[in-house]
Chains A and B, each alone.
Chain A
């Protein structure tokens, strides 16, 4: 086990926290911390690197979520070693460079924290053994790159560039995840070792093509391949150290890294070649061509990077072992010269104040040393001999010629390769000539000069590597290349020689041709610029992306308006329609074979039932038809309630009938009180088609419900009800089974329901508190409500009735356990009696006589019921276990008492409490006292006076 691997990966994450924290302590601390962390990680890499040099593949594993095949696993072989070295080495240089690059007002801690996060993510990506873990780090690089690109968050191009990069690479990352999951599904394991060993079964699988396509989508987006390349130039809004690090050496290489990593498992099929190679070629040519026309130094470098990434992709696409070797070699070379060029561009920008090549010129005079460094690096980019770029480009040319010899149609390959090479020479020339030569600068914002010593050191180091590799490839990159290429191929390496001179080969000819052609293209650049600006130059990827994004958002908004219109009618229609649909779908088999009806014979209809049913129908239909006449509709509704109560009587359910009757009374009266505040007439709001639609829907719902009821009623009824009948007396101590069920067998339901009542009371209290409504003082014709406000007879009788009603309530409560009655009904009886007082005597009379502070009644009632339930704990019984016994009380006589009665008393209190809350609250709504004034005007005057006086 090589625990230094996870340590090396996690160190930068810790470093990010440290950098963020130290950034608050002093400007430069975070730079020192980051440098130290990168160095420490590099140190940790040393030991494992030695082992890899010996030909070992190091693995470190720990379980994480083994059930889904996701375990932590780090792997260090030649390929990951190469990338780890690049990430840490160039990272170290970038840390140094950025310390001098960032301005005083840039928050250092944040920058270095993001940079360290990215470094950790990238290290994790290249050393992942587990594919899902790899996907995790992959997306982490996208997220951290978003943070780095948007570092200057006040700049809109930075924000937009960051979002574009995240959208594209994030999309690719998601596709990659899908692809890797499929790959894991084929192989049966997410371990890279298993995947690499299962190449044959992967390629034979029917899932190979979808997996390949999804993975390649990830690769192409990340490595900025055509047609996904356009995010990269816009990511150049990032600070230059970020571009040097992410956009040349590391993140954009993640895509080609994955090509290399999965090369043995996925390559060597027609699909691979025919997708990867053309995409690479298109990117190579397009990138090289476009780079020449970019006036921004970093834009030029961005397209150059795209082109070189295309080259690498093309090499992997060619798919021969030698091509893969060349690809790996070019990854190394490109990283060195491109990172140094970005840094040089940053220095120019930093010192001269602009990156626009149309404004820059003659900088050689001011900064010859930087010029020299840039020149060497640009020459490497152009592929000039004795520099590293030349070597890998030569290898590339060689492969294209080889392909051309192999297949007839591939003759285009060397042609395009040479063309791209020529453009590379041209844009490299431009980079040097436009900036450092061509007369003294005239339009610079400030006088340029050489940067600080230490800002140049990173560039120097990289340039020295370019030269050293270019001259002595075998001694410098050689060993690492052998290791990395060997790990890429996972097999024996093909024969190849790393030397500057290979004799007169076609590749050499192509190189010469490219050099000469490049010079020629540069010579005629001005007419070319004009031509480009009139043709391809008009294409603006950013505008396209913004247009695409706003089209997407527009489409979403359009759909959203249609989908999520906040219309209650629509919501209800959808629900009811869905209900009809699922019930019909469920009943469908029985509708088809006609078994909807059960075996029971139908009861013959009797005239009373028919009449009652007709009344019911009339009441229901009347409520709907007259719904705009609220008072009348309410009366119709009460007809429905009364018929239902009668139906209960007929079906021998006196308890239910009593409940229904009293509920009906209380609710109708309370509704009337509420209606008082609403206008008497509702305007007609629905059009005829709409009402027809609603009628159809309502009819369908009614029919569906009727079908369900029909089906149930025609089937024999076998339920647990018999048990309740048998156990009511022995178990519950009451002969009224309904009540015993309510307070004992299913007392918990009742407790829940009175809780609902209590919550409703709280809600009503909350809603109506402080609310003042203008109730109409007169009806539509201007007539006042009534002159005879409180009929004397009614008032007197209501007062007399109250104690009687309360007595009845107590009676109903006490007998409830054995005969029809119970706490709920008793509570409603009390409520009716109280409502009567309000109706008969008016609020003015009633209010002072009923305490406004009766709300605790609800809480106490609820507490009483709950406490009764808890009492059974004392007897070591479950919650709500009841006890009952037979008692002889003086005056009253023999009595069967049960603890359930206490429970029932709680129910009573809650019911009375909520009725009172509603009554009192609704009564208080209206600021003015009954009887009303004789005209609207006086009411208004009185009201205004009240308001002036600050309410009542």
Chain B
């Protein structure tokens, strides 16, 4: 069993939610507790394999899993390096807490929550692990369609409207993805990302502009997912409309875009390649714009859910700014910030739901409401998460921000980075203080009645917040890990070598007997 697991460890984070989803699909009509049990077990199992995967690759090796036994670049490969494993584990963690929250009751506000949730995890993990550009497209589709379902979970006109915008925008993004992949395949003749890196490195000058255009188009699609301004417009209302568990898992969805950006920009258009530095200037400048625009949204928000969604935009901007600065320190800073912002955003989405539920008909409107029976607890949790998300000390947001700023100090854009990041911190601080003061301090006797929050609902919020605190206490080891991850990213030769075999620079040629040798056909005995 352990041997089997080790052998197929890379694909395990995909198969667990896939089989979980299928099982739940087949369990249509069975009792809710049973469905919850299956769903929860699947998520826990996923967490286990994700942890094992991370531990396995944490020594710096790159695991390659050739699906169907077909060697790269011909078949599809899954590739697990530090970055992929880290994000898979982050997803699993988030899923665990979102599931904990969902089974308190929000999963019953619509149908088929658990099926969609499992498939969403499949899409996320697939996007992180695949080493094939077209397969990435497929997982983007899985992600998109599952998230659309999750977004609509619970119903209501707000969700329908936001959902329509979300799905149409993303379908357009998918079409552009196909344009980009088609062009790249037409010129480079391959879909395997490592192989693409090899071919870009030996790109004839005549094809340079074309590959450059297709590469930028590809990154545009990723930027759309990552909510880089001005492509972020779909995010705030969609995330604000989503139910709590869905929004919490969506916190990692923008990171898929960021992941794809950093993967592609370090591998295909990476150091040593012909098109090194293709994406970074766009990321840096537009990342800063994203921070500004997001901060404006945060200031203007009149609902906590919307405010948190705009905060997600700000953190996306900060993340992409870090990736845009480029270099080991900046990428490390970005990865640390990614971990922080995902956990905190998820916690805030869950907390928002609890606050809205406790405030009765005032819901999450940022205005005086009824006197909350648990104002200290809810307000205290909000304070901790707000401090973290705004980037005040001593929580993870501060450390992440310091890392990004420090990396930015050696950039020629230093004054801009410093000014934008610090001023946006101030603006979000003002907005968040205002919101907290109105929600937890100010009371209005005519605002209806408040209810005590369900304590079990708050456990995942506390746990996520606690993880954020661990991120501070163990900032040293965590940073060491993200720095090693950044180093691995910035040395794509190892990745290419692992995927394409010993001789990464040899352009693969047609070799029928090579395939024969690699994939022996097992004898089948039919009666």
B60 at the interface (CB under 8 A from A): no
Q: Are A568 and B441 in contact (CB under 8 A)?
A: no
B25 at the interface (CB under 8 A from A): yes
Closest chain-B Cβ to A710's Cβ sits at a distance in Å of 10
Alpha-carbon separation in the docked complex, A566 to B316 (Å): 20
A22 at the interface (CB under 8 A from B): no
A582 at the interface (CB under 8 A from B): yes
Alpha-carbon separation in the docked complex, A711 to B422 (Å): 45
CB within 8 Å of B: which of A537-591?
Answer: 549, 552-553, 556-557, 559-561, 563-564, 566, 568, 570-572, 574-576, 578-579, 582-591
Closest chain-B Cβ to A6's Cβ sits at a distance in Å of 14
Q: Are A579 and B217 in contact (CB under 8 A)?
A: yes
Question: Contacts of A564 on B, CB cut-off 8 Å?
Answer: 233, 236, 297, 300
Question: Contacts of A745 on B, CB cut-off 8 Å?
Answer: 68, 70, 74-75
Q: Mark B238-269, 1 if CB is under 8 A from A, else 0.
A: 00000000000000000000000000000000
Q: Are A559 and B165 in contact (CB under 8 A)?
A: no
With A572-B169, A855-B28 already in contact, the answer to whether A166 and B433 are too (CB < 8 A) is yes
Alpha-carbon separation in the docked complex, A561 to B233 (Å): 12
Q: Are A552 and B409 in contact (CB under 8 A)?
A: no
Please name the residue on chain A nearest to B333 by beta carbon: A68
Question: Contacts of A67 on B, CB cut-off 8 Å?
Answer: 332, 476, 479-480, 483
Alpha-carbon separation in the docked complex, A837 to B164 (Å): 32
Please name the residue on chain B nearest to A67 by beta carbon: B479
Closest chain-B Cβ to A755's Cβ sits at a distance in Å of 6
With A65-B476, A560-B297 already in contact, the answer to whether A883 and B521 are too (CB < 8 A) is yes
Question: Contacts of B296 on A, CB cut-off 8 Å?
Answer: 556, 559-560, 563
Q: Are A884 and B165 in contact (CB under 8 A)?
A: no
Question: Contacts of A872 on B, CB cut-off 8 Å?
Answer: 68-69
- Give which listed residue, B110, B165, B427, contacts A566 with CB less than 8 A: B165
Alpha-carbon separation in the docked complex, A747 to B422 (Å): 49
Alpha-carbon separation in the docked complex, A74 to B212 (Å): 52
Please name the residue on chain A nearest to B66 by beta carbon: A878
B495 at the interface (CB under 8 A from A): no
Q: Are B19 and A866 in contact (CB under 8 A)?
A: yes
With A572-B168, A585-B216 already in contact, the answer to whether A758 and B69 are too (CB < 8 A) is no
Interface segment among A334-342, A724-732, A777-785: the answer is: A724-732
With A140-B394, A722-B510 already in contact, the answer to whether A749 and B135 are too (CB < 8 A) is yes
Question: Contacts of A177 on B, CB cut-off 8 Å?
Answer: 402, 405, 422
Q: Are B189 and A748 in contact (CB under 8 A)?
A: no
Q: Are A863 and B22 in contact (CB under 8 A)?
A: yes
**What is the total of A-B residue contacts with beta carbons within 8 Å?**
371
Q: Are A755 and B112 in contact (CB under 8 A)?
A: no
Closest chain-A Cβ to B92's Cβ sits at a distance in Å of 19
B26 at the interface (CB under 8 A from A): yes
Alpha-carbon separation in the docked complex, A475 to B443 (Å): 54
B215 at the interface (CB under 8 A from A): yes
B455 at the interface (CB under 8 A from A): no
Question: Contacts of B21 on A, CB cut-off 8 Å?
Answer: 755
Closest chain-A Cβ to B304's Cβ sits at a distance in Å of 16
- Give which listed residue, A174, A712, A758, A882, contacts B425 with CB less than 8 A: A174
Q: Are A582 and B110 in contact (CB under 8 A)?
A: no
Q: Are B116 and A167 in contact (CB under 8 A)?
A: no
Q: Are B508 and A720 in contact (CB under 8 A)?
A: yes
CB within 8 Å of B: which of A385-421?
Answer: none
Q: Are B176 and A752 in contact (CB under 8 A)?
A: no
With A563-B297, A749-B138, A766-B111 already in contact, the answer to whether A712 and B75 are too (CB < 8 A) is no
Q: Which of A65, A726, A855, A858 has the most CB of B within 10 A?
A: A65
Q: Are B145 and A756 in contact (CB under 8 A)?
A: yes
Q: Mark B1-44, 1 if CB is under 8 A from A, else 0.
A: 00010011001000100110110011010000000000000000
Closest chain-B Cβ to A946's Cβ sits at a distance in Å of 23
Q: Are A755 and B142 in contact (CB under 8 A)?
A: yes
Q: Are A136 and B187 in contact (CB under 8 A)?
A: no
Q: Mark A44-69, 1 if CB is under 8 A from B, else 0.
A: 00000000000000000001111111
Question: Contacts of B349 on A, CB cut-off 8 Å?
Answer: none
- Give which listed residue, B164, B183, B300, B429, contacts A560 with CB less than 8 A: B300
Question: Contacts of A566 on B, CB cut-off 8 Å?
Answer: 161-162, 165, 237
With A560-B300, A755-B122, A856-B28 already in contact, the answer to whether A878 and B524 are too (CB < 8 A) is no
Interface segment among B46-54, B100-108, B146-154, B351-359: the answer is: B146-154
Q: Are A598 and B69 in contact (CB under 8 A)?
A: no
Please name the residue on chain B nearest to A712 by beta carbon: B186
B447 at the interface (CB under 8 A from A): no
With A178-B405, A579-B217 already in contact, the answer to whether A719 and B189 are too (CB < 8 A) is yes
B214 at the interface (CB under 8 A from A): yes
Alpha-carbon separation in the docked complex, A777 to B367 (Å): 47
Main secondary structure of the interface of A (DSSP, over half): helix
Closest chain-B Cβ to A364's Cβ sits at a distance in Å of 39
Q: Are A574 and B230 in contact (CB under 8 A)?
A: yes
Q: Are B149 and A766 in contact (CB under 8 A)?
A: yes
- Give which listed residue, B233, B429, B523, contacts A167 with CB less than 8 A: B429
- Give which listed residue, B214, B423, B519, contacts A708 with CB less than 8 A: B214
Interface segment among B201-209, B318-326, B456-464: the answer is: B201-209
Question: Contacts of B11 on A, CB cut-off 8 Å?
Answer: 878-879
Question: Contacts of B382 on A, CB cut-off 8 Å?
Answer: none
Q: Are B148 and A763 in contact (CB under 8 A)?
A: yes
A447 at the interface (CB under 8 A from B): no
Question: Contacts of B15 on A, CB cut-off 8 Å?
Answer: 866, 870, 879
Q: Mark B381-397, 1 if CB is under 8 A from A, else 0.
A: 00100010000111000
Closest chain-B Cβ to A284's Cβ sits at a distance in Å of 28
- Give which listed residue, A64, A68, A708, A753, contacts B213 with CB less than 8 A: A708
With A711-B210, A731-B516, A756-B145 already in contact, the answer to whether A159 and B169 are too (CB < 8 A) is no
Please name the residue on chain B nearest to A124 by beta carbon: B394
Closest chain-A Cβ to B109's Cβ sits at a distance in Å of 11
With A572-B169, A590-B209 already in contact, the answer to whether A878 and B217 are too (CB < 8 A) is no
Q: Are A763 and B69 in contact (CB under 8 A)?
A: no
Q: Are A755 and B119 in contact (CB under 8 A)?
A: yes
Closest chain-B Cβ to A874's Cβ sits at a distance in Å of 9
Q: Are A856 and B430 in contact (CB under 8 A)?
A: no
Q: Are B119 and A556 in contact (CB under 8 A)?
A: no
Q: Are B521 and A136 in contact (CB under 8 A)?
A: no
Closest chain-A Cβ to B80's Cβ sits at a distance in Å of 14
Q: Mark A876-920, 1 if CB is under 8 A from B, else 0.
A: 111111111101000000000101000000000000000000000
Please name the residue on chain B nearest to A570 by beta carbon: B233
B270 at the interface (CB under 8 A from A): no
CB within 8 Å of A: which of B396-451?
Answer: 398-399, 402-403, 405-406, 409-410, 415, 418, 422-423, 425-427, 429-430, 433-434, 437, 440-443
| 5 closest cross-chain pairs (CB), A and B | A586-B213, A719-B189, A560-B300, A712-B186, A590-B209
A-B residue pairs in contact (CB < 8 Å), sample of 8: A67-B483, A154-B441, A174-B423, A181-B405, A557-B299, A574-B233, A755-B119, A885-B521
Binding site for B on A (CB under 8 A): 63-70, 110, 132, 135-140, 143, 146-147, 150, 153-154, 156, 159, 162-163, 166-167, 170-171, 173-175, 177-178, 181-182, 185, 210, 549, 552-553, 556-557, 559-561, 563-564, 566, 568, 570-572, 574-576, 578-579, 582-591, 595-596, 598-599, 705, 708, 711-713, 715, 717-724, 726-727, 730-731, 733, 744-749, 752-753, 755-756, 758-760, 762-763, 765-767, 769, 855-856, 858-860, 862-863, 866, 870, 872-873, 875-885, 887, 897, 899
Binding site for A on B (CB under 8 A): 4, 7-8, 11, 15, 18-19, 21-22, 25-26, 28, 65-70, 73-76, 110-112, 115-116, 119, 122, 126, 134-135, 138-139, 141-142, 145-146, 148-149, 152-153, 161-162, 164-165, 168-169, 172-173, 176, 179, 182-183, 185-187, 189-190, 195, 206-210, 212-217, 219-220, 224, 230-231, 233-234, 236-237, 282, 293, 296-297, 299-300, 332, 376, 383, 387, 392-394, 398-399, 402-403, 405-406, 409-410, 415, 418, 422-423, 425-427, 429-430, 433-434, 437, 440-443, 475-476, 479-480, 483, 508, 510-512, 515-516, 519, 521-524, 526
